[in-house]
Amino acid sequence: MINLSLVIHNHQPVGNLDSVFATATERAYDPVLGLLERHPAVRLSLHYSGPLWDWLLAHRPDHVERLRALVARGQVELLTGAYYEPILVAIPDADKIGQIRKMTDFLRRTFGVEPTGLWLAERVWEPYLPKPLAEAGVRYTLLDDTPFKMAGLTDDDLFGPYVTEEQGQTVIVFGNVMYLRYAIPWHPVEEVVDWLRAQASVHPGGVAVMGDDGEKFGLWPGTWDLCWGAEAWMDRFFTALEASADWLQTRPLGEMAAELPPLGRVYLPCASYEEMMDWALPPHDFAAMRHVRRELKASGRADLLRFVRGGFWRGFIARYDEVNQMHKKSLWVSRKVHGMPEGEEKARALDHLWAAQCNCGYWHGLFGGIYLFHIRAVNYAHLIAAETIADRAHARREFWVWTEQGDLDADGREEVVLNTDRQALTFKPSYGGALVEWDWRPYRYNLTNTMTRRREGYHEELRRAAEEGRLVLPDQPDRPDGVRIKEPDIPTRLFHDWYRRAAFLDHFLHPDTTLEAFHRSQYGEQGDFVNQPYQAQVKEDPAGLTLILTRDGIVWVGDRPLPVRVEKRVVVTPGNDLLTVHYLVTVRSEPLGAEKGRLSPLRFGVEMNWGILGGGSERASLRILRGREKVARRPTDTGEIRDVTGFTFNLPHLMPVSSPSEPEPRPEVSFTLSAPATLWHFPLEAVSNSEAGYERVYQGTCTLLWWDLALEPGESWEITLQAALG
C-alpha cells in the first residue's frame, strides 16, 4: 500500500482582471470541484490565495458553498498560506506571520477548520523560514524536490516527511515529486498509475506528493481539452485512483504529516522549483544553464543533474531596478506602518501593505510577471495607500510637507524623498539626479511606473528562430521546432536600454542623433550626465521644499572635453498637485586643451518616462501644444514635433479614491515649458514570452524634450518645466 497526496494551489494576483478570475474559475476551479463531487473516494488538499477568496466570495459564493460541503465531509483539506501570496523570504517576519494568521483566521471563520499546513508561494525556500512559520502556527509544508536533491537526497528518499528547524523551531517538510508534477496531466493515465504501482512495491506505507498550480487543469493553453474535453484526462485518472484502492490511498497531506514519523532531519539550501531558479539567472547564464541541462539529460547523467542549480529568487531583485524599487518601497512602508499606534487605521494600512506584497509583480519567468503593467500598478496603489495612512497619522494635519533621506533602495547610496499631502517624489542623486518614483496620493498612482527594456534569456531563442525561419504565427499550424510569435515583426523589436528609464534624465546628444536611434537606444551621448552622480541639497520651509541637484560634468566637443554644469531645482508645495523643475545649464570654460573660439552648438535634452496605465488602449491620448495648435497623438505613437510648449497625457483608468464612481473626464498630467522645444515621443515596449508566444507589451511612454544651445564660456541657459496633475 502506498499513499498519494495531491495538493492543488489556486491563485490569482491582487488586481488581476475580473475576466481572468472568471475564466479561471469556469475552466479550472469549478471543474475540479465537480470532479471531486463525482469521485468522493478521492481525497486531497487544496489551497486558495486570499485575492481569489475575496473574488469568489464577491462573485461566486456558490463555489465557496460547494467547497464547504467537500471540506465538511472530509474529502478536502484546506491549507493556509500568506493571505496575499507574497514571496515570504522577501517580506519582514512581522508581515509573514501577520499574513499567515490572516489566512488561518479566514479559514477558521469560513470553513470551521484549523489549518496547520501551508502552501509556500512559488515554493521559494530559505533556511531561516522554519522559525517564522512555526511562530505563525504552521506545522508542515511541501517544497519541490529540487532543494532536497541539492542537499544530497535522491528520488527514493522523498516518500516521507523530514523535519527541519531554525533556532530550535521545527517544521515538517515534504518533497514535491517532479515526475508527478510533469506527468499530471500530460502523460497517459496508465503510465502514471504504473509508476505509482512500482513505487508501492519499493516504498510501502510511504507517500508520493504532487503539488502544483490549479490553473494547469484547464486554464493553461491546450489543457481544457486535455483535462475536461474529449480526452477527459482528469476523470479517467480519478477513476483509476478509485479502482486502485486495494494498493493505493489518496490522502490529504495533513493526515500524512500527523501519521508518518519523519524519515530524518534535513537542512535545505535556498531554492525554489527548478524553472524558477533558471529564470532568476542573468540572461547569458539562463541560456547556458538550459544548454547544460539538455546535455546532461541527453547523456543520461541524472546523477549529476541533481547537483546542477540555477540562481535563487532574490536574483530578480538584483536584476531589475524596478523590482528592487517596489520591493524596497514595501520594506520602507512596512516600517512606517508597524510604527503606527494600534487601531483601525493601522489595521487598514497593514491590509494595504500586505496586498502590495503579492508576489506576481516582483519577478519574471516565461510569462508576464513584472512586465504585467496592471499588476505593478495595483502593487503601487496599495503601497501608496498604506504609506499615505501612515504619513497622515504622523503629520496630524490636513496639509503637510517634509523630506526623507536615506538609502531607500539598499544600494549603498542615499535617496531623497519630497513628501507632501498630495505627492511623494523619490529622487536618486547618485543616478543622474533622476526621479525614480512619483506617487500621486489622491489616485494612489506612481506616474513613473515604467520598465527599462532589458535583454532576457529567451530573446536568444527568438533571434535564432528568426534567422532559421522557424517562427510560427497564431494562424499557422504548429511545428516541432517552431517558436510561436503573436506578430510578424516581433524579432525586429528587441531594443535593449543601456540606462534605467526614469524621469528628469539629462542628455547631451550628438547633433546627428535621430529619433529612431534614440528609440532603439543605439545613439551617441556626448555628455556624462545621464546615469552619473549629482550633488543634492534640500531647502525646507513651511511653504514648500526645494531640492537642488547639481553636476559638474563633461561634454565632448569633437575630441575636446568641455566643462559643463547642470543644475536642476525641484520645487513642491503642500496642498496642490504641481511640480516645478528649473534647469540652469552653464558652460564653465573653454574646451580643455582647445584654442579660444566659438563653440559648436550643444544639444541638451530632458527625458521623462511616463507610466500610463491603459496607455495602449483606444481611450488613451497624448495632446501636444505647438503655439496655438494642438496635435493629437496616442501614447503608443512614435513621432517628432518641433516648437512644442506643452503636452498632456490623459490617465484613462484612474479614479480618485474618495469618489470612485466619479464620471468622466478622467485625470490628466500636463507638462508646460517656458521656452519651445523639440519633442520626441515613443512607447516603451518589452518583448515578453508566454505560453501563447512572443509579444510586445506596453510599459510606458518616453518623451524627450531637446534644445540646441549656442553658449560661450561662462554663459548659461535656463528653462522651467512645470507638471500639473488634475
Q: Measuring CA to CA, which residue among 335, 435, 446, 325 is closest to residue 385? A: 446
User: Annotated catalytic, 664?
Assistant: no
CB 9 within 8 A of CB 47: yes
Residue with cell 481544457: 224
- The CA angle 354-360-366, to the nearest 5 degrees, is 170
Residue 158 to residue 256: CA distance in whole angstroms: 13
CB 237 within 8 A of CB 186: no
Grid coordinates given for 509: 546628444
Q: Measuring CA to CA, which residue among 34, 402, 5 is closest to residue 196? A: 5
Residue with cell 579660444: 596
Residue 606 to residue 720: CA distance in whole angstroms: 11
User: Annotated catalytic, 213?
Assistant: yes
Q: Please identify which of the residues 54, 77, 95, 122 carries the catalytic annotation.
A: 122
DSSP letter at 485?
A: B
Which parts of 40-197 are beta strand (E)?
A: 44-48, 76-78, 117-118, 140-144, 162-166, 169-176
Strand ordering across the sheet containing 117-118: 117-118, 140-144, 169-176, 162-166
Q: Measuring CA to CA, which residue among 169, 172, 168, 102 is closest to residue 143? A: 172
Q: What are phi and psi of 418, to 5 degrees?
A: -95, 115
Grid coordinates given for 37: 463531487
Q: Measuring CA to CA, which residue among 578, 1, 25, 565 is closest to residue 250? A: 1
Residue with cell 554644469: 565
Q: At what angle do helices 321-338 and 93-111 cross, to 10 degrees?
A: 80
Q: Please identify which of the residues 213, 255, 414, 460 carries the catalytic annotation.
A: 213
| Chain mean position to CA 211 | 23
CB 222 within 8 A of CB 36: no
Cross-strand pairs, 229: none
Cross-strand pairs, 647: 624, 671
Helix (H/G/I), strand (E/B), else coil: 490: helix
DSSP letter at 29?
A: I
Helix (H/G/I), strand (E/B), else coil: 475: coil
- The CA angle 365-369-371, to the nearest 5 degrees, is 110
Residue 189 to residue 617: CA distance in whole angstroms: 44
Q: What are phi and psi of 536, to 5 degrees?
A: -125, 140
Grid coordinates given for 355: 496586498
248-250 vs 602-610, strand pairing mode: unpaired
Residue 160 to residue 179: CA distance in whole angstroms: 16
Residue 713 to residue 254: CA distance in whole angstroms: 78
Those residues with Cβ within 8 angstroms of residue 291's Cβ, 6 or more apart along the chain or in another chain: none
Residue 163 to residue 7: CA distance in whole angstroms: 19
Maximum pairwise Cα distance, the chain:
98
CB 607 within 8 A of CB 453: no
Residue 623 to residue 631: CA distance in whole angstroms: 6
Distances from the Cα of 473 to the Cα of 137, 532, 724, angstroms? 50, 43, 44
Residue with cell 459564493: 61
Residues with active-site annotation? 122, 213
